[in-house]
């Protein structure tokens, strides 16, 4: 059997009894939607993230949509974000009729570049066509963005800050859990995430009681005092009880798995040191990553293709996150961006690729990966 890119089977073997027990409990009480597991999970993850409120939802995409709706994002608003991320980050903005404004990335962390963010905000202000409304910072691959720089930029310009922690739940920025940063933080429980369920799921975090109330209303069709009292537009964004039961079982071992992920990342740094023209990822000082992916940089696109071919020949999977930045995607062609507008993320997209990463990756498998790359 080859080396898996993500190993959910080894994890399941550890918690099989707990997962089955949780699902059976849901089957027994029959509250399949918004059962007691939802509130229990929300309480546990809010405590872990050091926030007052957590709102479970149906996906990471719904988490972003709910956050933007709670913050009253509408047509004519500009929301600044990175193009070097999954589609959902900017898609959520566009679905509400607002305009994503793409900002280039830092060449080391691949997260939004604060200096470029300042320039983009100033440009939108000067043009006067859109209302600058907020910032969505993405913690790409599990590495926190530069919040010491980003937070004051948002505050000084009267903008909200959403942390897209779809890949970084469990990461820490200078002593602060990433989901405690900003006005609202959003995460995803897609199965491949560091904390994932066995389907789709997500969660929204905030310290603001008013936003918590809005999020809970938006989650269920703009519900007011009861389900037939609709006081605003909303979505069907509920997290189901079975997925919450799975997450409760997985969360019990999650802190240990974060430590194991960091051990795997440390070993990668050692064994890949001898691979010529390969750049391994960097975590800024004072931060911890949850290593949602372990992405490395080749010299150029041709070199990447050669390295991926070597891995494939050895039966080792790899993946590219993300080959085409969002500003060049057909779905956002109406925004008028062209190749060369955001050169850093475009260049990174031509060189980056991800290696197998999970808490149960063995040292001998990592050595085999390094040997295949060096061969």
pLDDT in tens, 311-350: 999 999 999 999 999 999 999 999 999 999 999 999 999 9
pTM above 0.85, yes or no: yes
* Residue 2, in any domain of the structure: no
- 183 preceded by cis ω (within 30°)? no
If asked whether residues 121 and 263 sit together in one domain, one would say no
pLDDT of residue 253: 98
Q: How far is CA 134 from CA 80, 158, 213, in A?
A: 6, 8, 20
Q: Could you tell me if 254 and 38 are in contact, meaning their C-beta atoms sit under 8 angstroms apart?
A: no
If asked whether residues 215 and 272 sit together in one domain, one would say no
Q: How confident is the model at residue 227 (pLDDT cuts 50, 70, 90)?
A: confident
pLDDT of residue 90: 98
Q: Could you tell me if 31 and 241 are in contact, meaning their C-beta atoms sit under 8 angstroms apart?
A: yes
Indicate whether 1 pLDDT > 80. Answer: no
Indicate whether 354 pLDDT > 70. Answer: yes
Among candidate residues 226, 251, 276, the one where a domain is terminated = 251
If asked whether residues 315 and 222 sit together in one domain, one would say no
CATH number reported for the structural domain that contains residue 201 in this entry:
3.40.640.10
Query: Domain containing 299: what range?
Result: 254-374
Q: Could you tell me if 73 and 98 are in contact, meaning their C-beta atoms sit under 8 angstroms apart?
A: yes
Give the chain's domain count: 2
If asked whether residues 146 and 201 sit together in one domain, one would say yes
**pLDDT tens digit sequence for 56-76:** 999 999 999 999 999 999 999
Compute the distance between CA of residue 188 and CA of residue 133 in angstroms, rounded to an integer: 23
pLDDT of residue 375: 87
* Residue 3, in any domain of the structure: no
**pLDDT tens digit sequence for 119-177:** 999 999 999 999 999 999 999 999 999 999 999 999 999 999 999 999 999 999 999 99
**Residue 323 CB partners (closer than 8 Å, separation 6+):** 349, 350
Q: How confident is the model at residue 2 (pLDDT cuts 50, 70, 90)?
A: confident
């Amino acid at each position: 059997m080859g080396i898996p890119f993500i190993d959910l089977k080894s994890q399941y073997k550890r918690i099989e009894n707990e997962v089955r027990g949780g699902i059976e409990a849901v089957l027994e009480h029959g509250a399949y939607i918004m059962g007691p597991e939802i509130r229990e999970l929300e309480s546990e993850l809010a405590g872990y993230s050091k926030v007052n409120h957590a709102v479970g939802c149906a996906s990471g995409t719904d988490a972003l949509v709910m956050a933007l709706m709670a913050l009253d994002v509408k047509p004519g608003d500009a929301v600044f974000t990175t193009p070097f991320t999954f589609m959902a980050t900017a898609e959520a903005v566009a679905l509400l009729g607002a305009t994503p404004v793409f900002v280039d990335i830092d060449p080391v962390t691949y997260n939004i570049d604060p200096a470029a963010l300042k320039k983009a905000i100033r440009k939108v202000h000067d043009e006067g066509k859109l209302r600058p409304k907020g910032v969505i910072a993405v913690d790409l691959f599990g590495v926190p963005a530069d919040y010491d720089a980003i937070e004051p930029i948002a505050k000084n310009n009267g903008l909200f800050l959403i942390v897209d922690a779809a890949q970084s739940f469990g990461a820490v920025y200078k002593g602060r859990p990433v989901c405690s940063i900003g006005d609202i933080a959003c995460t995803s429980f897609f199965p491949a995430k560091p904390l994932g369920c066995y389907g789709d799921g997500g969660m929204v975090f905030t310290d603001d009681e008013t936003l918590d109330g809005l999020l809970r209303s938006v989650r269920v069709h703009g519900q007011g005092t009861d389900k037939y009292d609709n006081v605003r537009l909303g979505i069907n964004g509920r997290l189901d009880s079975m997925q919450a039961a799975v997450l409760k079982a997985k969360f019990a071992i999650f802190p240990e798995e974060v430590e194991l992920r960091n051990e795997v990342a440390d070993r990668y740094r050692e064994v890949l040191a001898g691979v010529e023209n390969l750049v391994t990822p960097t975590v800024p000082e004072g931060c911890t990553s949850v290593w949602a992916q372990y992405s490395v940089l080749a010299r150029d696109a041709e070199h990447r293709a050669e390295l991926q071919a070597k891995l494939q020949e050895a039966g080792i999977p790899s993946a590219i996150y993300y080959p085409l930045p969002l500003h060049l995607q057909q779905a956002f062609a109406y925004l008028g961006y062209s190749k060369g507008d955001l050169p850093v993320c475009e260049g990174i997209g031509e060189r980056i690729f991800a290696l197998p990463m999970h808490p149960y990756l063995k040292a001998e498998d990592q050595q085999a990966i390094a040997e295949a790359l060096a061969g």
